[in-house]
Amino acid sequence: MTVKPSGFEPALLSPVLFEPDQTNPYLAKAVELRNIFAVDAVERDQQGGRPTEQVRLLKESGLVNLLIPKEFGGEGQPYSTALRIVREFAKVDGSLGHLFGYHFSPIQNALTGGSDERSAAILRQSAKGRWFWGNTTNSFSKSLFGKRIEGGVLLNGDRPFASGSHVADYLMVAWEDEETNARSFAYIPANRDGITIADDWDGIGQRQTGSGRVLYKDVAVKDEEILPERPRDPAALLIPQQQQSVLLNVFIGSAQGALIAARDYTTTKSRPWIYSGVERHSDDPWIKRQYGELWAKVQAATALADRAAGAIDAAYAKGPALAAEERGATAIAVASANVLAGKVALEVTSEIFEVMGARSAVRPYGLDRFWRNVRIHTLHNPAEYKTRNVGSWFLTGDYPEPGIFQ
């Protein structure tokens, strides 16, 4: 058990600042869960492992069914609501924000994949069972291969960066054919014979995401579990924007949460510098000016994130009628927001220590987790290339070619 210094609870959020509209029942439930997650967020971050109880609460709440259409037994809410919930969780726990957002990747794949029977059945079953999803689809690693057998495929190998696999009911899996190298996808239960969740993630941040390896040893995938080849139409190509939106809202939530925690520490624990000439640290003009700058940066990044969420909603609402140019405009909106969100989050989660003071930088407070979570996420998707895409579009009007990250 971590012993915390007395007189300060860094994980518990003050009211008012950055609070969502709680007349929306889904956001109200998210705030309720956020406050529960906050109680032991520091301790769980330091321990790593599996957030089993937190995922149980998510399933119990029904928020895992948020994006599944009502015709399949879900809540039928817009994607922006899920992103705002990601943001709420990330205010106290970046891992849970990440896991909740990535849970929807397989669901969105089913929704944008057309009307194949496998996807429709999966959506119904997922809604009924309140499944939590993980994935083993890492696009860079050619380390899982399938061999054709009668009635299906036999998988051998592994996949890294399998976020959510350690707490998942079902997995989305991708593999390469051992002869043709063709890539295929399937939805399979996480407890399928031959699957081993290594649970070997040991990153400096996002400590409870389970982003390690999943091992496959003679895992049988039935033909009826394999997804049909999907059309590369603009609607289907929105998947990268969905994933990028999760990342940027983890950044936004982390920045907001760090700023709130720092404000609370400064007003209750910080001592004025000996040459400041003030009795309270919060009365120091330097401290006021720096907090003003941090607040303005976070407000700007939040506004751009909200704009991107609206663009995502509009794109998904078009469905199969979405034009390539509209998909491109959505990609630019998301990339722009992602660049600013990552930059601001890195700045805020680092600079808060300057305005809190030396005593804030001790492990029991856990205030470093905000920076560690943001830092490790930004490395998985370099801002340089998103910035170039936006600059190229601004100069030429050409949208980025659809790809894994754009």
Cβ-proximal residues to 400 (8 Å cutoff; 6+ apart), any chain:
328, 331, 332, 335, 389, 392, 393, 406
406 occurs within a structural domain? no
Same-domain status, 257 and 379: yes
Alpha helices (H) along 1-78: 25-39, 41-47, 52-61
20 occurs within a structural domain? no
Contact between residue 386 and residue 308 where contact means Cβ atoms under 8 Å apart: no
Same-domain status, 200 and 253: no
Same-domain status, 169 and 281: no
Same-domain status, 43 and 89: yes
Q: Which of 190, 225, 260 is the last residue of a domain?
A: 225
405 occurs within a structural domain? no
Average of per-residue pLDDT across 56-61: 98
- 156: which strand partners? 145
DSSP assignment letter at 14:
P
pLDDT tens track for 16-30 = 578 888 899 999 999
pLDDT tens track for 118-130 = 888 999 999 999 9
Cβ-proximal residues to 6 (8 Å cutoff; 6+ apart), any chain:
none
Instruction: Give the Cβ contact number of residue 16 at 10 Å.
Output: 7
Q: For residues 162 and 139, give the distance between their C-alpha atoms in angstroms, rounded to a whole number.
A: 11
Pairing relation of β-strands 214-222 and 195-197? antiparallel
Same-domain status, 257 and 160: no
Q: Which two tokens stand for residue 195?
A: 């699957």
Same-domain status, 245 and 360: yes
pLDDT at 320: 87
Same-domain status, 254 and 370: yes
Same-domain status, 124 and 217: no
Pairing relation of β-strands 214-222 and 133-136? unpaired
State phi, psi for 90 to the nearest 5 degrees.
-65, -20
Contact between residue 187 and residue 165 where contact means Cβ atoms under 8 Å apart: no
Which of the pair, 372 or 279, is modelled with greater confidence?
372
Q: Which of 100, 132, 164 is the last residue of a domain?
A: 132
Same-domain status, 221 and 160: yes
Same-domain status, 121 and 202: no
| Mean pLDDT lowest among 124-128, 193-197, 231-235, 383-387 | 231-235
Q: Which two tokens stand for residue 250?
A: 């983890």
pLDDT at 16: 55
CATH of the domain at 141: 2.40.110.10
- Number of structural domains the chain divides into: 3
- Domain, as residue range, for 163: 134-225
pLDDT at 5: 54
State phi, psi for 110 to the nearest 5 degrees.
-70, -40
Q: Which of 84, 100, 132 is the last residue of a domain?
A: 132
Same-domain status, 44 and 107: yes
| Mean pLDDT lowest among 206-215, 229-238, 387-396 | 229-238
19 occurs within a structural domain? no
Contact between residue 205 and residue 373 where contact means Cβ atoms under 8 Å apart: yes
337 occurs within a structural domain? yes
262 occurs within a structural domain? yes
158 occurs within a structural domain? yes
